Amino acid sequence: MPVAFLAYPEMSQMLVSELKSRFNMELSDFTVYGDLFYTENVSPFACEKYPYWARTTAINPKFQKFESIGEAAKFLKAIQRNWASYQFSFFRRSSLIQEKLPFINLKPKSFPFEIPSSQIGLFTLIDENKMLYSETATSPLPSGYFQFIEDHENPPSRAYLKLQEALVRFAYFYKTPLPDEKSYCFDAGACPGGWTWVLRQLGSRVFAVDRAELCDSLMNDSSVEFLKHDAFTLETDKIGPFDFVFSDVICYPERLLNWVNLWIESGRTKNMICTIKMQGEIDWDLVEKFASIPDSHVVHLCYNKHELTWMWHKD
Ligand SMILES: C[S@@+](CC[C@H](N)C(=O)[O-])C[C@H]1O[C@@H](n2cnc3c(N)ncnc32)[C@H](O)[C@@H]1O
């Protein structure tokens, strides 16, 4: 069964590097269509581990010839309702096919939004009269991607987008509500305050820890308690309990792994979202240790760059 990996925009080098170091595959194993990497050599993926730096993976994609836009749309529609395209050329032709398919909302989203649980297929025109298509793709997002409508005025850093996306995905994975006005959250590595700002927008109380202070508006917010401290040396039984524990600390992943295990063992939170910052070469064994924590997910977000996001929820 073939597969095709679609890299995040401008991150195909990261995908290539992951395929080499994690799956022992060379670029020559693939046929490359823009950011889409197609292979029939599926043995490394038989265990259903797919690359993090693919925004979606098309499972068992097939080639299909067609004469007209109408014929292509009719062909896809006969398979299922939901389709999104990834295009690297033939943009106009591809949009015309998409327009003839049942409506999919591809507009930038406002936070929060719900990721639909219905399956969405992926198609790509590889020449004027031939497409690569797959009715099954690993991501529930259209072509594995979305963007938020951005707020350029209020958040103290762009990092707020990362937490918004992580929360949307968290709700999708665990079918659990977002933090709200009843929630008490620990934000580790909070400065200048993008994540704390998101949590305050949701009405939560926040315990924010960093070596540097947050922006003034958050320092003056009576629902934000700030502590200037190393977030990792605070003892779990001396603070909290917390509804959610977050970390966006820049640190070695080993240190983060020890810390999340302490929180899990403490029983003093049921929800965690942490950025795994990569320093140089990625230690895949270490990423695997995060991924193998029961009830957790490791994902690369649309708003992550050279980092991954780990999330965990205990019922
Ligand atoms: C990427 S920034 C966080 C951005 C923040 N999440 C936001 O939304 O604005 C990483 C932060 O981690 C902090 N940091 C690094 N090591 C830390 C530690 N051991 N304890 C607490 N904060 C730490 C840095 O001071 C820095 O502000």
Which residue, judged by its Cα, is nearest atom 27 of ligand 1? 191
- What is the chain's mean pLDDT, rounded? 96
* Any atom of ligand 1 within 6 Å of the Cβ of 212: yes
Which band of pLDDT confidence, cut at 50, 70 and 90, is reported for residue 44? confident
Q: Is the pLDDT of residue 42 over 90?
A: no
Q: At residue 65, does pLDDT exceed 90?
A: yes
Quick one: which of 22, 11, 27 has its CA closest to 44?
Answer: 22
- pLDDT band with cut points at 50, 70 and 90 for residue 15: very high
Place of tokens 């990092």: 159
Residue 194 neighbours by CB under 8 Å, 6+ apart: 155, 156, 157, 158, 159, 160, 161, 162, 163
Q: Domain count of the chain?
A: 2
The percentage of the chain sitting over the pLDDT mark of 90, rounded to a whole number, equals 95
- Please give the structure tokens belonging to residue 220: 């003056």
Res 150 pLDDT > 80? yes
User: At residue 179, does pLDDT exceed 90?
Assistant: yes
Residues in the chain: 315
- Quickly state the pLDDT bin for 47 (edges 50, 70, 90): confident
- At residue 26's C-alpha, the angle toward residues 297 and 45, to 5°, is 40
Are 164 and 287 in a shared domain? yes
| Minimal-distance CA residue to ligand 1 atom 7 | 194
Q: What is the Å distance from ligand 1's center to 212 Cα?
A: 8
In a domain, 155, yes or no: no
Is 90 exceeded by the pLDDT of residue 160? yes
Q: Which domain CATH number covers 212?
A: 3.40.50.150
> How far apart are the CA of 204 and the centre of ligand 1, in A?
20
Domain enclosing residue 21, as ranges? 3-144
Domain co-membership, 115 together with 195? no
150, part of any domain: no
- The whole-angstrom separation of Cα 281 and Cα 235 is 31
Q: Which of 248, 256, 276, 307 to mutate to test the pocket of ligand 1 (most atoms within 8 A of CB)?
A: 248
- Indicate if 238 and 262 belong to the same structural domain: yes
What is the residue with the minimal CA distance to atom 23 of ligand 1?
A: 189
| Three-state SS letters, 285-309 | HHHHHHHCCCCEEEECCCCCCCEEE
Assess whether the C-beta atom of 193 lies below 6 angstroms from ligand 1.
Answer: yes
Read off the pLDDT of residues 205-248 as tens digits, 9 standing for 90 and up.
Answer: 999 999 999 999 999 999 999 999 999 999 999 999 999 999 99
What's the one-letter identity of residue 291? A
Q: Which of 303, 308, 314 is nearest to 145 (CA)?
A: 303
Please give the structure tokens belonging to residue 49. 């581990």
Question: Which residue, of 110, 144, 178, is where some domain finishes?
Answer: 144
Q: If DSSP codes are grouped into helix, strand and coil, which group holds residue 310?
A: strand
Q: What is the mean pLDDT of residues 20-32?
A: 95
Residue 141 has pLDDT above 90, yes or no: yes
Residue 151 is assigned to a structural domain of this protein:
no
136 and 261 both lie in a single domain: no
pLDDT at 1: 86
Q: Say how far apart CA 250 and CA 256 lie, in whole Å.
A: 9
The verdict on 256 and 289 lying in the same domain is yes
Q: Residue 280's pLDDT is what?
A: 83
Which residue, among 164, 203, 206, 199, has the nearest Cα to 184 in the 3D structure?
Answer: 206
- Residue 134 within a domain: yes
Whether residue 176 is found in the same domain as residue 124: no
- State mean pLDDT over 7-29: 95
Give the distance (Å) from ligand 1 centre to CA of residue 247: 8
User: Is the pLDDT at 41 greater than 90, yes or no?
Assistant: no
Q: Kindly report each contact of residues 194-197 with a partner whose C-beta sits within 8 Å and lies 24 or more positions away, as own/partner.
A: 194/155, 194/156, 194/157, 194/158, 194/159, 194/160, 194/161, 194/162, 194/163, 195/159, 195/160, 195/162, 195/163, 195/246, 195/248, 196/224, 197/154, 197/155, 197/156, 197/160
pLDDT at 43: 80
Statement to judge: residues 73 and 180 lie in one domain:
no
Report pLDDT digits (tens) over 75-122: 999 999 999 999 999 999 999 999 999 999 999 999 999 999 999 999
Token couple for 59: 């499972």
Q: Which of 211, 233, 239 to mutate to test the pocket of ligand 1 (most atoms within 8 A of CB)?
A: 211
**pLDDT above 90 (res 273):** yes
CB atoms under 10 Å from CB of 285, counted, come to 7
Question: Could you tell me the CATH number of the domain that includes residue 20?
Answer: 3.30.2130
